Structure 1
Amino acid sequence: MTPDEFVALLGDHWPQTLEALDPADREELAVLLRGLASAADSQAVQAALRRLRRLLRALPDEHPVTLALRDGVRFAGSTDAADAPGVDRLPVLALLAALDGPPEPDPLRARLLAAPSLAAAEVAAGPGEPGLIRLRHPELGDRYPRFQFATGTARPLAVVGRINRLLMADRDPWGAADWWLGRNRWLHGVPAELLGSVPDEELTRAARELVEGD
């Protein structure tokens, strides 16, 4: 990953990145971006990128920037700072300009977070329960959408766990939550609202249709 690709990655997910960081981290992010924009040589660029990567460890595990940095290659030239590429200052300055105002809320995430949910401490199986959708609320921390549990309890529903694994909720919890909480044309309704009234097999087929259709 080149420095410019790294900056472009941040730009692609800028609102979500700012939303996931606390005020102190956003202030430090601004300082580090100014340092990157003013870097005079390739060594300074690489040092700024290393500091940025350390700061971005504060992002949730499922954040797209976290996943890209975990799965991607190291910055081009990082083994030889003398030959490392520089960085285009204009995209960095654009990110800094966006930092001057409050982060724009993501309407999809706002809708999903508004749905009934449980805190991690309320989940009987514990935060590490496989197959559960875990959404990061900027103020309330980890939240587990309520539809995943039997009515009036914190007991996970087996069919939800099976479907969540089909939807790869561990990698894309927001996408999986959107499937459950959005209207499904195949089912003619909202999957989360159909739990218990539509056979589990039919819900599973609808999820598999989405996955195999991709």
Structure 2
Amino acid sequence: MTPDDLVALLGDHWPQTLAALAPDEQEELAGLLQNLASAADSQAVRATLRRLRRLLRALPDEHPVTRALRDGVRFAGAPDALEVDRAPVLALLATLHGPPEPDPVHARLLAAPALPAADVAAAPGEPGLIRLRHPALGDRYPRFQFAAGTTRPLAVVSRINRLLMADRDPWGAADWWLGGNRWLGGVPADLLGSVPDEELARAARELVEGD
């Protein structure tokens, strides 16, 4: 059973699950789902899932979620590849308290011009492109990554995105491009075409090597 399977299992039995939990357990469940929706990496996902499973052990023995967990859930995927589809998690949260407050950094990055996944010719798994998940609009690709008026990725962007490991941390890579950079004296995405490509790449290497 994958993490997404567990979330789907909860969704299939959501009213029954809430009815079986005490009010404080419902609040704990809401908090864990919020943590899951905002988890930044596989380690955070795995830690939240462990706490979620412990909470679900409070369900009655005859509960369908309990029966599904009784066989022993082993989450698929290596620790550095564990991911969760946030959309179903956010849908469950919306039934409790309405949509959770968006992370301010994520909200800022999602407000930048972007292309929907359907308009991007490159495969969604392309490690040279930043792909952000919008809670309402689905996968989005920040517009600065492409040549003006096209969906052709800029070579320097793909190169730097690989340096920034955008396939593992798309939000961090997007924040580098769309935030102020003291080394460059501006916002890297705004400097494309006016600052030499190698200078942009050097600034990205300074960040990576500094970590």
Q: Give yes or no for contact 1:35–1:48 (8 Å, CA) kept in 2.
A: no
Pick one of 15, 37, 43 that aligns with 2:58: 37
Find the aligned partners of 1:173 and 1:13 in 2 and give their Cα distance. 18
The aligned runs of 1:4-23 (5 Å cut-off) are 10=32, 13-16=35-38
User: Deviation of residue 141 (structure 1)?
Assistant: 1.0
- Higher RCO (CA 8 Å, separation ≥ 6 residues): 1
Closer/same/farther in 2, CA of residues 167 and 97 from structure 1, 3 Å limit = closer
**What letter corresponds to residue 35 of structure 1 in structure 2?**
L
> How much is the aligned-residue C-alpha RMSD, in angstroms?
3.7
Closer/same/farther in 2, CA of residues 98 and 128 from structure 1, 3 Å limit = closer
Find the aligned partners of 1:176 and 1:118 in 2 and give their Cα distance. 17
Find the aligned partners of 1:97 and 1:139 in 2 and give their Cα distance. 14
Identity across aligned pairs (percent)?
A: 66
Unaligned runs of 5+ in 2: 1-28, 40-51, 83-91
> Structure 1-normalised TM-score?
0.60
What SS does the aligned partner of 1:37 have? Answer: coil
Closer/same/farther in 2, CA of residues 171 and 49 from structure 1, 3 Å limit = farther
Closer/same/farther in 2, CA of residues 119 and 98 from structure 1, 3 Å limit = closer
Pick one of 188, 191, 202 that aligns with 1:191: 188
> Structure 2-normalised TM-score?
0.61
The aligned runs of 1:77-156 (5 Å cut-off) are 100-102=96-98, 103-156=100-153
Find the aligned partners of 1:167 and 1:49 in 2 and give their Cα distance. 40
What SS does the aligned partner of 2:97 have? Answer: coil
Unaligned runs of 5+ in 1: 1-6, 18-30, 58-65, 72-95
User: Deviation of residue 50 (structure 1)?
Assistant: 5.5
Runs of 4 or more above 4 Å deviation: 31-34, 48-53, 66-71, 96-99
What residue in structure 1 maps to residue 69 of structure 2? 47
Find the aligned partners of 2:70 and 2:133 in 1 and give their Cα distance. 27
Q: Deviations over 1:87-133 (max 9, x none)?
A: xxxxxxxxx99983232211111111110001111113342433000
